[in-house]
Amino acid sequence: MGINGAEHTIYNANAAVPVLTLASCPIPDRPEGSLHLMTGVLKIKLFPSSAAHRIYKANIVDEEFHCNYELNPVYRPQIEAGGMKFGGESMDGGARILELPGHRFFMGTGYMPQNLSKPGKPHPIIVAFLKAALEYKKATH
């Protein structure tokens, strides 16, 4: 993507190229005593042409966050120019889902889908990943 020296501020608080950085704002109504800025449920807008939209079959979803870090918005244009695509963002425009178009399954999220999985009702992203893995196995064997 041409972002030389990219760093995460969890490892270097004074990073010269802080691609992943401390969250800019906390989730509203986060639980009292939470150690993480982004703890709680956040609404995510899904872009109609994204894999996330196809997986969720929705325009807006609620996801549970437990983190303090996010993509530094300064680098979003460079990441998109490098071929990645953002499949979803928070209502304030923060990047929350990253995809690689043309790949059988490449999706990164700022939340943990497994947290909302329940017995008998796995999270849609986990189901989509497992289906992609099974299709790949069938195609290569």
> Whose structure tokens read 């999220």?
109
Q: Pairing relation of β-strands 38-46 and 85-90?
A: antiparallel
Task: With cut-offs at 50, 70 and 90, classify the pLDDT of residue 15.
Answer: very high
Helices (H) and strands (E) in the chain, counts: 3, 8
d(CA 84, CA 86): 7
pLDDT by residue (tens digit) across 76-132? Answer: 999 999 999 999 999 989 999 999 998 989 999 999 898 888 999 999 999 999 999
The pLDDT assigned to 71 comes to: 92
Q: Report the predicted TM-score, pTM, of the whole model to 2 decimal places.
A: 0.88
d(CA 85, CA 120): 31
Mean pLDDT score of the chain: 90
Domains of the chain, start order: 7-140 (3.40.50.880)
CA 140 to chain centre: 29
d(CA 27, CA 34): 11
Closest CA to 97 of 82, 112, 83: 112
pLDDT by residue (tens digit) across 116-141? Answer: 889 999 999 999 999 999 999 999 98
Q: What percent of the chain has pLDDT over 90?
A: 68
The pLDDT assigned to 95 comes to: 94
